[in-house]
Structure 1
Amino acid sequence: MSEVIVEMSGRMAKSVEAFKNDLSRVRTGRASISILDDITVVAYGSTMPLNQVATLTIPESRMIALQPWDPQMIPPIEKAILKSGLGLNPVNDGKVVRLNIPQLTEDRRKDLVKQVKKIAEEFRVAIRNVRRDAIDTLKLQKKDKEISEDDLFKLQDDAQKETDIYIKQLDEVSASKEKEVMEV
């Protein structure tokens, strides 16, 4: 297989991984620590990720518990969570901050499914752009007589097959996330 196709395949695989990473931040009805990944806390004069100032656990299916290593960090943690826009209200008992994940309404679930579909489409476009770049590179190689016309058509076909594989992976991951979001 051509170096161009191998490189294209690697870039597509990275796109699928990035897609999975983005989807992990989409809130579902269940507690997931990954929804807190983007939250930063002002601690000791600098900004730090939430998971570096507290232990994050899921004691129940609809609750996340944050146990700060320093109890004085509770107010900044609460402030950061409230500012995050996740719509979660922190409750603290002096030692642990608890986040109750509310049941999603039907409308909210549908909005989240739309969001998942939008993210999936963005990544489909990204994968197609990777394919286009690879095919452009192959056409340049043909123009420079590095590959024959027959090789060009064969490699374009290979590029399309790889693209189809990665698009299918995206669709499977997307369908799985949509199903997870729609669960009551």
Structure 2
Amino acid sequence: MFDTTPYELKMNGALEHFEEELKKVRTGRAHPSMLDSVLVEAYGTRIPLNQAANVTAPEPQQLLVTPFDPGNITAITTAIRDDQSLGFNPSDDGRVVRVPVPALTEERRKALVKQTSEKVEDARIALRNIRQDALKDAKAKKQAKELSEDDEKRVAQEIDKLMADTQVKLDELFKAKEKDILTI
């Protein structure tokens, strides 16, 4: 018998990865996860910002970074400023770092939608690869006489159904994010 569970788990993993990637795409509102990619030079090593400070969004257009150790405030400010993909210009008052999140222009919004659609395509490629692996395994088992031809066809149908369901979820996530990006 052929077990499709590992492939279902891989497809769900690909979907979860896509969701994580979507969180990194900026919308017009400030969100603490926007700074997840920032690495801070503290204690002689590079650590993620969330291990050196608390990040909150007190206002829709501003992030507030409160360092656990006030001695790291300059390093935090520099790390946020140096991350060119974010394009933020933080300022600190000696206790906290304020990061204004500029409003998105129409041109930037369209570029973000395009960037997000590229992430969708990457997720689809990952799903197709998982599907191919499953079908190869089923074919190999059929040739090894562990599966009958009917079982192989049933497995292919099951994998295709899984694939279709996952694609629908992928499209729903993309449409929701696109709406979020384009909403002013």
TM range (shorter): over 0.9
5+ residue gaps in structure 2? none
Q: Percentage identity across aligned positions? A: 42
What is the match of residue 70 of structure 2? Answer: 71
Deviations 1:85-130 (A, max 9, x none): 1100101111110111110000000000000000001101110110
Q: For 2:170, what is the secondary structure of its paired residue?
A: helix
What is the match of residue 175 of structure 1? Answer: 175
2:12 counterpart of 1:13? yes
How far the C-alpha of 1:2 sits from its partner, in A, is: 3.2
What is the match of residue 116 of structure 1? Answer: 116
What is the match of residue 153 of structure 2? Answer: 153
What is the match of residue 139 of structure 2? Answer: 139
Deviations 1:9-41 (A, max 9, x none): 100000000000011011111111111111110
1:56-95 counterparts in 2 under 5 A?
56-85=55-84, 86-95=86-95
5+ residue gaps in structure 1? none
What is the match of residue 2 of structure 2? Answer: 2
Q: For 2:161, what is the secondary structure of its paired residue?
A: helix
CA contact (8 A) 2:2 2:138 kept: no
CA contact (8 A) 2:2 2:147 kept: no
Equivalents in 1 of 2:118, 2:45: separation in Å? 35
**Deviation above 6 Å: which 4+ runs of structure 1?**
none
What is the match of residue 41 of structure 2? Answer: 42
- TM-score, normalized by length of structure 1? 0.97
CA contact (8 A) 2:61 2:102 kept: yes
Matched pairs, number: 183
Equivalents in 1 of 2:68, 2:35: separation in Å? 17
- TM-score, normalized by length of structure 2? 0.97
